[in-house]
Amino acid sequence: MMERGLDHLVYATPDLDASVEELSERFGTEPVPGGTHPGWGTRNALIGLGAGIYLEIIGPDPSQPDPEGARPFLIDDLTDARLVTWAYRHPDPESMRDTVDLALRDATGDQRVQLGPIRSMSRNRPDGGTLRWRLSDPMALPVGGIVPFVIDWARTPPPSTALAHECQLLELVVSHPDADTLQPVLDA
**pLDDT for residue 1:** 57
**pLDDT for residue 105:** 85
For 104-111, which contacts have Cβ atoms below 8 Å and span 24 or more sequence positions? 104/142, 104/143, 104/147, 104/185, 106/184, 107/181, 107/182, 107/184, 107/185, 108/143, 108/181
Tell me how far apart the alpha carbons of residues 96 and 186 are, in angstroms, rounded to a whole number.
12
**pLDDT for residue 178:** 83
Tell me how far apart the alpha carbons of residues 145 and 72 are, in angstroms, rounded to a whole number.
12
Q: How confident is the model at residue 43 (pLDDT cuts 50, 70, 90)?
A: very high
Does the pTM of the predicted model rise above 0.75?
yes
Q: Is the pLDDT of residue 187 over 70?
A: yes
Q: Which residue has the higher pLDDT, 113 or 116?
A: 116
**pLDDT for residue 168:** 93
Percent above pLDDT 70 for the chain: 99
Least confident piece of the model among 56-70, 72-86, 136-150:
136-150
Count the Cβ atoms, other than its own, within 10 Å of residue 145.
Answer: 19
Residue 55: Cβ-neighbour burial (10 angstroms; 0-12, 13-18, 19+): buried
